Amino acid sequence: MLKKCVICGKEFEAQSVEKLWCSRSCYGKLWRKNHPVEKTKEIGVCIICGKEFEKRRADHRFCSVECRRANEKVAVKGRTAKHKEKKKQEMIKEAVRLAKKSENHDAIADIAIKARSLGMSYGQYVAKYMGRM
């Protein structure tokens, strides 16, 4: 049966008596027309200046572009300071690790010197006096 779309006015072949639209697009337009969305305006408080503002999205935290940029500058400085502190801690850890490695190396060198003074190799000395006897 031929019907006329209530949205665009185009004629279409209806498969049921209740169908009022010709396409999914027109159905969507009809649905939105019959189900209007009431947008509630949420009031937020800017985290930089403390001024109240109307949020355009739920996750807005700033009243203006200037406040957002001010926050970015503070955040970048904070990240830079944290990064420098982290690098400093990493350098300290690396220095401690190298110092321990150096101590082990010195201990090995001392054992090798003792072994040579006794006319033995490092392996022979370790096997005889430190490891298996």
Segments forming the whole domain that contains residue 20: 1-38
Establish if 27 belongs to a structural domain.
Answer: yes
Strands (E), 1-133: 2-4, 11-13, 42-45, 52-55
Inform me whether the pLDDT recorded for 4 exceeds 50: yes
Establish if 33 belongs to a structural domain.
Answer: yes
Q: How many domains does the chain have?
A: 1
Q: How far apart are CA 73 and CA 62, in angstroms?
A: 14
| 132 band by pLDDT with thresholds 50, 70 and 90 | low
| 25 band by pLDDT with thresholds 50, 70 and 90 | very high
Establish if 24 belongs to a structural domain.
Answer: yes
| 133 band by pLDDT with thresholds 50, 70 and 90 | very low
Of 77, 48, 50, 40, nearest to 65 by C-alpha is 48
Q: How far apart are CA 109 and CA 96, in angstroms?
A: 20
- pLDDT in the model for residue 22: 93
Q: For the chain, give the percent of residues with pLDDT over 90.
A: 21
Q: 55: how many CB neighbours lie within 10 A of its CB?
A: 15
Establish if 65 belongs to a structural domain.
Answer: no
